[in-house]
Amino acid sequence: MTTTRDLAGLDLSPVTLERLDALDSLVRRWTEKINLISPATVPDLWTRHILDSAQLWPLSPVGAKAWADLGAGGGFPGLVIAILATEAGSPKVTLIESDGRKCAFLRTAVRELGLSALILDQRVETAPPQAADVVSARALAPLATLLPFVARHLAPGGTALLPKGRDHAAELDAARTAGWRFEVEAVPSRTDPAARILRLTGLAHG
């Protein structure tokens, strides 16, 4: 059962754990029909996707009211964050995704899991700016390409939480070379020793 699984040290209610298990089942079923996640990761879905997403939650600033997940895809981390936010009572979670089939899955998941998340079926570069306290994006683009989208949707003083792989240091260098300024904390991932979650604050360009 879920209660025996590692979930980033979070103390969660039985209802939240049931929702995460239901998300696991939904993703497995839909991945048989559309490419929500890589089929190679399905056997290890809990660690590779659910835990990998849940570990962002404790890194979010206290009092955050709005969270935007860019390129939400199969719902990671956005749906996991929305599940955790339901128990906490905030923040409001918005998932932005341009693939219509994936949006259909996201809306189904929100409905079946009893979440209040908003799904925007739009491209991140044209969606209305969200002024979110937290912006996340997982496997969407290299950092230098990603940061203009993050800046579009991030509120002044907000925090970006961006999971990155073994090339995170090179991506940081490339972003700085492209004129981006920020404070960064590279938090070790609980699911991949070579990966980091980049916690960016003070994001600015030029």
Determine the structural domain holding residue 87 and report its residue range.
Answer: 2-205
Host H or E run for residue 124? none
| pLDDT averaged over 10-residue windows placed end to end, the chain, 206 residues | 52 90 95 90 90 95 96 96 94 97 97 96 97 96 97 98 96 98 97 96 95
User: Got the DSSP string for 147-192?
Assistant: HHHHHHHEEEEEEEEEEE-TTHHHHHHHHHHTTEEEEEEEEEPSS-
**What pLDDT score was predicted for residue 24?**
95
**What pLDDT score was predicted for residue 6?**
54
Residue where the block lists tokens 């905030």: 90
**What pLDDT score was predicted for residue 1?**
31
Q: Is 164 left (phi over 0), alpha (psi -120 to 50) or beta?
A: beta
Binding residues for S-adenosyl-L-methionine: 71, 76, 124-125, 138
Residue 25 burial (CB < 10 Å; 0-12/13-18/19+)?
A: exposed
Q: Is 98 left (phi over 0), alpha (psi -120 to 50) or beta?
A: alpha
**What pLDDT score was predicted for residue 165?**
94
Please give the tally of structural domains in the chain: 1
Tokens of 204: 């600015």
CATH of the domain at 132: 3.40.50.150
Binding residues: 71, 76, 124-125, 138
Please name which of 186, 180, 133, 135 lies closest in space to residue 164, comparing C-alpha atoms. 186
